[in-house]
């Protein structure tokens, strides 16, 4: 090897001697000691089907790393599946798990001073966690998309986990029998991988490719399919080359790359969770971009070119067959930064040169989109001085974009759902559910998405607007739903001052979320409330609550400094 590797210490030094003793006991040879040391970041788990196949993927990757002249070291991290870990603390572990993954990786990768890392990215929080870690450590890195799950049928009709999620709320409102729900549960998932729809996981898989941090053609892909296996093998080979070429994440994660990723999310009408994950990645990579502003700036320029469920009738299989993220970027090429570098060592433009879109009915050209109106809009106003996000999906001519009405306020999602069931929430109301932000949850706890589905089950989705400082599932795009209002109520944001009957106005076209209460009255309410008090938290959630930054910083944890190389 001609390149100096940070994993190689001076022969005979205390660190080299201790490392040699450990690694020789693991079977490494003298020749291995000189090779690039690659972390294979694996979140395998028996708790969730999303991660159940990753041990097999890790073996493929490790074999490829060895064949390319590297030495793989498999390391394990938390494996957070939203559907599983949402059971504890009202879902409060979901978002904090992302940052736990980053710090878990730092201990192994930076502590051992490995030369590169290849990350097996699956369910919602692992792709952003891996991107954030790549930006923070800034060592050669590549992400492997580990695929979506196959789904099943019930009585000849498609059923997947998203149908189960919605069906579970419908069943509680008497719109679906328990027997039908059980049949859906038993048939929705027929193999490993992430949720089928264009929710957070598949949206983030597209983001990884659009950023240039995974090989072209990686997303989406059916889990355990021959193509997924081939992409994993090629990625294992490529990470060794990246180390030798010294191409690092901060060479790739440029403002142009984030522009491309935001464009891709808008073009697939992806999950609003991509906004905070992209902002968090930018913060960790030291890139000075405002992702929230970028979504609004690009919203009027990037049309929606695909309509994968729940946005439309196309399946994720249809999207993959049409060419996936690579074909999407080909259609978007006139509006992308084609000079942005990627893990291939080539630019986006070079990677797209020979790409052919296989089905222009599924991934449409810019001149014939599914919609030319932004599916995601960031709002600001007297109720959201920093930001709030509305997801509209495919916007037809009759799509509601303005709503003004009296607030009906709840401080707990369960109370709101009971109120909906009991008929207390009326047509014309703006339903406010607060106390579910990053500090108030803590960790954005509280099933805000369930409240939205409860409105749908009560046939109020079009008659009631929803406003919350909680986060929504990537599946929520019905009605007028506003999430992640910032500053959140727990830190004294205006949302904490809202009372029943206050008029709230949502105006998407003008990017406004306003509370129609005189400033003097709000000041009096604030004086009566006193200094905001955060809810009690214990364990990791207490650490998260004390150190998490606002949504404008991607809700990353406060970091005093970068890890110091030795």
DSSP-derived letter for residue 440 is T
Q: Please report, for residues 34, 106, 156, 243, 337, the alpha-carbon distance to residue 4 in angstroms, rounded to integers and kept in the order given.
A: 9, 21, 60, 10, 33
Answer yes or no: are the C-beta atoms of 284 and 556 closer than 8 Å. yes
* CA gap 483, 272 in Å, rounded: 9
- The values of phi and psi at residue 379, to 5°, are -105, 155
| Residue among 473, 496, 542, 552 flagged as catalytic | 473
Query: Residue 458 is encoded by which pair of tokens?
Result: 């009560």
* CA gap 263, 375 in Å, rounded: 11
* CA gap 247, 174 in Å, rounded: 56
* CA gap 109, 121 in Å, rounded: 16
For residue 473, indicate whether it is catalytic: yes
Query: Residue 134 is encoded by which pair of tokens?
Result: 């790549």
The structure tokens 């097999």 sit at 56
Query: Residue 69 is encoded by which pair of tokens?
Result: 């002249």
Q: Please report, for residues 261, 434, 452, the alpha-carbon distance to residue 392 in angstroms, rounded to integers and kept in the order given.
A: 19, 21, 13
DSSP-derived letter for residue 333 is G
Q: Please report, for residues 38, 239, 313, 378, 388, the alpha-carbon distance to residue 272 in angstroms, rounded to integers and kept in the order given.
A: 33, 30, 20, 10, 10
Residue 17 CB neighbours (<10 A):
12
C-alpha radius of gyration, the chain, whole number: 24
Angle (nearest 5°) at CA 331 between 294 and 280: 30
DSSP-derived letter for residue 90 is G
Answer yes or no: are the C-beta atoms of 516 and 505 closer than 8 Å. yes
Query: Residue 553 is encoded by which pair of tokens?
Result: 């910083």
Give exposure, 219-241, as e/b (b: 16+ Cβ within 10 Å): bbbbbbbeebeebbbbbbbbbbb
The structure tokens 């069906």 sit at 167
* CA gap 336, 261 in Å, rounded: 9
Q: Which residues are catalytically annotated?
A: 473
């Amino acid at each position: 090897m001609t390149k100096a590797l940070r994993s190689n210490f001076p022969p005979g030094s205390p660190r080299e001697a201790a490392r040699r003793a450990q690694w020789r006991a693991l079977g490494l040879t003298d020749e291995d000691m000189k090779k690039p040391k690659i972390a294979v970041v694996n979140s395998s788990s028996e708790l969730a089907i999303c991660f159940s196949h990753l041990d097999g993927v890790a073996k493929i990757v490790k074999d490829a790393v060895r064949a390319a002249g590297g030495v793989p070291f498999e390391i394990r991290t938390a494996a957070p599946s939203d559907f599983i870990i949402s059971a504890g603390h009202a879902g409060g572990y979901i978002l904090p798990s992302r940052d736990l993954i980053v710090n878990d990786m730092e201990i192994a990768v930076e502590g051992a001073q490995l030369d590169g890392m290849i990350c097996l990215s699956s369910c919602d929080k692992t792709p952003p966690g891996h991107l954030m870690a790549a930006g923070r450590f800034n060592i050669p890195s590549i992400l492997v998309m580990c695929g979506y799950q196959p789904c099943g049928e019930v009585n000849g009709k498609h059923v997947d986990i998203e149908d189960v999620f919605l069906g579970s709320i419908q069943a509680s409102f008497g719109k679906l029998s328990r027997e039908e729900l059980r049949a859906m549960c038993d048939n929705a998932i027929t193999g490993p991988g992430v949720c089928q729809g264009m929710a957070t996981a598949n949206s983030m898989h597209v983001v990884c490719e659009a950023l240039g941090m995974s090989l072209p053609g990686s997303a989406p892909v059916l889990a355990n399919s021959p193509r997924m296996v081939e992409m994993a093998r090629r990625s294992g080979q490529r990470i060794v080359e990246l180390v030798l070429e010294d191409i690092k994440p901060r060479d790739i994660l440029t403002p142009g790359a984030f522009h491309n990723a935001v464009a891709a999310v808008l073009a697939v009408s992806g999950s609003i969770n991509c906004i905070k994950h992209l902002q968090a990645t930018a913060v960790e990579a030291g890139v000075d971009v405002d992702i929230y502003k970028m979504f609004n700036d690009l919203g009027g320029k990037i049309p929606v070119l695909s309509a994968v469920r729940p946005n439309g009738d196309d399946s994720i299989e249809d999207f993959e067959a049409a060419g996936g993220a690579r074909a999407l970027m080909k259609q978007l090429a006139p509006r992308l930064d084609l000079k942005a570098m990627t893990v291939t060592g080539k630019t986006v433009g070079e990677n797209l040169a020979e790409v052919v879109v296989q089905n222009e009915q599924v991934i449409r050209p810019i001149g014939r989109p599914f919609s030319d109106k932004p599916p995601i809009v960031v709002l600001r106003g007297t109720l959201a001085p920093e930001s709030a996000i509305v997801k509209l999906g495919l916007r037809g001519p009759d799509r509601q974009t303005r709503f003004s009405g009296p607030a009906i306020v709840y401080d707990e999602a369960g109370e709101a759902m009971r109120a909906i069931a009991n008929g207390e929430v009326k047509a014309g109301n703006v339903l406010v559910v607060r106390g579910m932000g990053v500090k108030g949850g803590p960790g954005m706890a509280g099933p805000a998405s369930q409240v939205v589905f409860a409105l749908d089950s009560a046939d109020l989705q079009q008659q009631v607007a929803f406003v919350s400082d909680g986060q929504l599932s990537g599946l929520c795009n019905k009605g007028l739903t506003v999430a992640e209002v910032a500053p959140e109520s727990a830190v004294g944001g205006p949302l904490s001052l809202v009372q029943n009957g206050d008029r709230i106005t949502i105006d998407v076209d003008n990017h406004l979320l306003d509370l129609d209460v005189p400033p003097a009255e709000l000041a009096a309410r604030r004086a009566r409330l006193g200094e905001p008090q955060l809810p009690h938290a214990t364990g990791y959630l207490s650490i998260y609550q004390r150190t998490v930054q606002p949504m404008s910083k991607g809700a990353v944890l406060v970091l005093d400094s970068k890890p110091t190389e030795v």
